[in-house]
Amino acid sequence: MKQTASPQMHQYSKLEERLNAFTHFLGFALAALGLGALLLKSNGLIEVMSSIVFGSSMVLLFGASTLYHSVSNPRLKPILKRADHIAIYLLIAGTYSPFLVVAIDGWVSTVSIITIWAIALFGVGFKAIFKDKYPKLAVTTYAVMGWLALLIIVPIYNAVPLTGFIFLFLGGVAYSLGIPFYMAKHKHYTHAIWHLFVLLGAACHFYAIYAFVIGQTVVVQLPIAAFAS
């Protein structure tokens, strides 16, 4: 039996929605733990803020997705779907942030962080205004935002250890491989498979950031005795 939602909205079976909700509830729980781990490892204000932005964007994405797939109310469903899609823009920009603010610096960092967040905010406004119109354009925007990293691949490669760079790349590949499953809404259980690719992509990016970006900044503290002289 199908759930009753907006007639323009794809309707998943109850079992599909349970799987959709469960996969991203798992992501929500892991993201919350990951946010805490990032904050514990952060050195200095810049790393703390970067950890909050990235970790919170993961929590928001997985939380919004879990709520969307858990609720069957026909009035709430479209609103939560929009929030879910908006959170994707924020997660992409949030994932960039530690690399652009902590790992690299200079004009490349400044221009890149402004550009990626400007695109993300444009996407948020686009989704808020046009709602579920132009879904293919929205998915294309997600992919383009993600692979804009190719424009700054050299400074990121120079700033991050090779293993971290590989996991950053693998995360992008995981998200990209999941897109066909996201688009194949007419086939059963493909959305849950898409969720698994999102989990894998987020996990790769979390590992790259946690292990090779956050906690690498050396915070210089002057001894108290220096102020006593």
Query: Is 191 among the annotated ligand-binding positions?
Result: yes
Structure tokens at 94: 């949030």
DSSP 2: B
Treating both helix axes as pointing N-terminal to C-terminal, what angle do 44-70 and 190-212 enclose, rounded to 10 degrees? 170
CA distance linking residue 135 with residue 184, whole number of Å: 12
10 is in an annotated binding site: no
Q: What angle do CA 170, 120, 28 make, to 5 degrees?
A: 60
Taking the C-alpha atoms of residue 38 and residue 42, their distance in angstroms, rounded to an integer, is: 6
Residue-level length of the chain: 229
Rounded Cα distance between 154 and 38, Å, is 25
| Backbone dihedral angles phi then psi of residue 207, each to the nearest 5 degrees | -65, -40
In angstroms, rounded to a whole number, what is the distance separating the alpha carbons of residues 157 and 159?
6
Amino acid at 70: S
- What lies within 8 Å, CB to CB, of 164 at 6+ separation is 208, 211, 212, 213
CB 101 within 8 A of CB 88: no
Residue ranges of the annotated binding site are 69, 191, 195
Residue ranges of the annotated binding site for Zn(2+) are 69, 191, 195
